[in-house]
Amino acid sequence: MRTKKIAFLGVFLALALICSYVESLIPFSFGIPGVKLGLANIVVVIMLYTAGAKEAVCIGTLRILLSGFLFGNMFGILYSLAGGLLSFFVMYAVLRTEKFGVIPVSVCGGVSHNIGQLTVAVLVVENYRIYSYLPVLLFAGILTGFLIGVAAQEVIFRIRKV
Amino acid sequence: MKKRIGRKDLILIGVLLAAAFLIWLIITRMQPAAGASAVVTVDGDVYGTYPLSQNQEIPIMKGEKRTNLLVIKDGKADITEADCPDRLCVHQKPISMTNETIVCLPNKVVVSIEGSTESGIDSIAN
């Protein structure tokens, strides 16, 4: 059982890394700096439902560190970690209420991810004016969170059946 | 688990959209006017204030190294050169309205636009 779990988590980590890589290939820019689809978050959402919270946060953090070293830089890791961890805890809190489905959980994750990144950006450059990006990033978070939620939900339904 | 999206789900997403819209309204209300000058900050300290009425090129130096080039043209401020790898600041559109910003995160450079009313104190301080 334990070895099976280790293998399972390894596959998930590989999948998350591939998602990061694919995303770094596509110039998926909405014309606004910092707005990304967040493809790797599909894996985190799926894991929240199928593998558990502890596993999801482990894989999410490892994925950010690894993809940061592979495709990004130290700054990128800092922003991603702030966004990723905040988004994970918000998603977990929404999930634990057991009132909402996959899509709103993912939407809350997307929004809080962008809030977390923006907050780190404000702290790093020590200029609160950057918060004027907030509305754009909120809308972007809702949109990308919705798309990720739809995709993750379809996978979750099918994984559960197996 | 059969149901894909329920009523509660839609309500939550609706509330988030409404909140985002509200914040957008508040922030756009706060920055209605055309700005008068571009303020450059590096590492959180003011590097310089430049009037938008005057066409000019300002190299932003960090020690000996030129990190960014700020160009003011036709009342708009734009960063046209940067030494960072992603060059996100170069891709950002020229700014001219108050509280608009261009940010270069790797170099910690922020260009923001200020109105004419509050720049009096700044220009004396500079």
* Domain CATH code at residue B98: 2.60.320.10
* Residues from chain B contacting residue A87 (CB–CB below 8 Å): none
Map tokens 């209300």 to a residue: B29
Chain B residues whose C-beta sits inside 8 Å of any chain A C-beta: 1, 3-6, 8-9, 12-13, 16-17, 19-21, 23-24, 27-28, 31, 41, 43-44, 85, 88-89, 91-92, 99-101, 103, 105-106, 108-110, 112
Same domain membership, residue B110 and residue B53: yes
Q: Which of A120-124, B11-15, B61-65 has the highest mean pLDDT?
A: B11-15
What is the SS3 assignment for B57? Answer: strand
Q: Quick one: pLDDT band at residue B121, thresholds 50, 70, 90?
A: very low
Same domain membership, residue B58 and residue B15: no
pTM: 0.69
Same domain membership, residue B16 and residue B77: no
What is the SS3 assignment for B71? Answer: strand
Same domain membership, residue B44 and residue B25: no
**Closest Cβ opposite residue B16 in set A73, A75, A111:** A111
What domain range is B118 assigned to?
A: 37-125
Q: Which of A71-75, A147-151, B56-60, B118-122 has the highest mean pLDDT?
A: A147-151
Residue A22's φ and ψ, nearest 5 degrees, are -60, -40
Put simply, the answer to whether B1 touches A160 (Cβ < 8 Å) is: yes
Same domain membership, residue B42 and residue B24: no
Same domain membership, residue B92 and residue B66: yes
State the pLDDT at residue A31: 55
Q: What would the mean pLDDT of A105-134 be, rounded to a whole number? A: 86
Q: Which CATH class is domain A2-29+36-161?
A: mainly alpha
Mutating which of A49, A126, A127, A131 best tests the B interface, going by the most B Cβ atoms within 10 A? A127
3-state secondary structure B7-24: HHHHHHHHHHHHHHHHHH
Residue A122's φ and ψ, nearest 5 degrees, are -65, -45
Of the candidates B45, B42, B38, B39, which has an alpha carbon nearest to the alpha carbon of residue B106? B42
* pLDDT tens column, A32-58: 566 778 888 999 999 999 888 999 999
Same domain membership, residue B72 and residue B42: yes
The count of domains in chain B is 2
Written as six digits, the tokens of A60 are: 């999410």
**Closest Cβ opposite residue A99 in set B5, B8, B85:** B8
Put simply, the answer to whether A134 touches B23 (Cβ < 8 Å) is: yes
Residue B77's φ and ψ, nearest 5 degrees, are -105, 140
Same domain membership, residue B112 and residue B65: yes
Same domain membership, residue B13 and residue B50: no
The interface predicted TM-score of the complex, written ipTM, equals 0.76
Same domain membership, residue B121 and residue B61: yes
Q: What would the mean pLDDT of B46-69 be, rounded to a whole number? A: 87
